[in-house]
A = this chain, B = another copy of it.
Amino acid sequence: MQTPSVAILGATGLVGRTMAKILEERDFPVGELRPLASARSAGTTMHFRGREFTIQEATPDAFRGVDLVLSSAGASVSRALLPAAAAHGAVSIDNTSAFRMEPDIPLVVPEVNPHRISEYGERRIIANPNCSTIQLVVALKPLHEAFGVKRVITSTYQSVSGAGQAAVDELRRTTGDVLAGGSGETDVFPSTIAFNAVPHIDVFMPDDDTREEWKMRVETKKIMEAEIPLHATCVRVPVLEAHSEAVWVETERPVSPREARGLWASSPGLAVVDEPATGRYPTALDAAGRDEVLVGRVRVDPTIENGLAFWVVADNLRKGAALNAIQIAERLVS
């Protein structure tokens, strides 16, 4: 696969548009581009590398002649269509939750487990992890290799863009509504998101964790290939773009904040922003539009042996979704 024909499945969505933008930015070798979406969006147009493309309806036959699918149209669409894409010989990088936990589907973050990329096998699908997991494992991986991570606790501050364009529009609309004296009631979110913090992302599971919290736990284990106990509380906050995470880890061997910063500064995909003396730390606004996972607020957690606390921020549409998928694709074409 050297100059693949590329289908973007879900081309009109937030992640799909970010995928097209990143293909341009990174000069990814694209033979033919085939933007696909639902029948509703078919016939509309998009621009790519100065040319106008017409969105086609995503049907099983739309993958004929396609080598690579960048998929982000929802789990049910992926389940319905990616087997057809595989039957046409395409390899799919799927940004939905449809296949992530299936044992014969690789779940990949290139900084963590790139060796799995080639293992897409007959199903010809590589899964892109959930946004909140990706940025966490990019930070955990070097720490685990050097010091052994024994346990992870994390609470998230997740932006609305993880829920799509309608969610972004909704936050803007309902926030304006509240500023004008309205109640800001939401249609898209399970609870009002304007000026609120909502500990409910995805559905609730039998153990009362949400599915988003479950994803962080099981995806981290699969990607890291390590039985690292992890517990998460996932919270939606009124942020437009980029997820933040407060993280506590216990390590097998002692690690100082200075050692951790040095390790992260020299690890792929990470940038350290951590100068308390000058008030520098990463925030969502800093991470929006950037490719790196930003780490800061690194401190000793003195309440436990070998405890370390830190703060991880990344653009959930880029590293948390489109960029990670295209980094996987780059390894397929190289």
Contacts and interface: CB of A to CB of B under 8 A. Distances in A.
Contacts of A300: 207
Contact of A302 (B192, B229, B296): B229
A248 B207 contact: no
A311 interface: yes
A264 B208 CA distance: 18
A299 B208 contact: yes
A217 to B, nearest CB: 9
Contact of A204 (B153, B196, B276): B276
Contacts of A239: 195-197, 238
Contacts of A218: none
B238 A195 contact: yes
Interface string A168-185: 000010011001000000
A229 B279 contact: no
Interface string A287-316: 000000000111111111001010100000
Given A179-B175, A229-B304, A299-B209, A199 B244 contact: yes
A29 B311 CA distance: 47
Number of copies: 2
B246 A155 contact: yes
Contacts of A209: 299
A44 interface: no
A231 interface: yes
A279 B190 contact: yes
A3 interface: no
Interface string A253-294: 000010000000000000000001101010111000000000
A79 B234 CA distance: 41
Given A151-B304, A231-B302, 19 more contacts: A153-B248, A155-B246, A190-B279, A192-B285, A195-B239, A197-B244, A198-B283, A199-B283, A200-B281, A204-B279, A208-B276, A209-B299, A229-B302, A229-B304, A230-B303, A233-B246, A233-B309, A235-B244, A237-B238
10 contacts: A151-B304, A153-B301, A157-B237, A175-B175, A191-B285, A195-B239, A195-B284, A204-B279, A229-B304, A230-B303
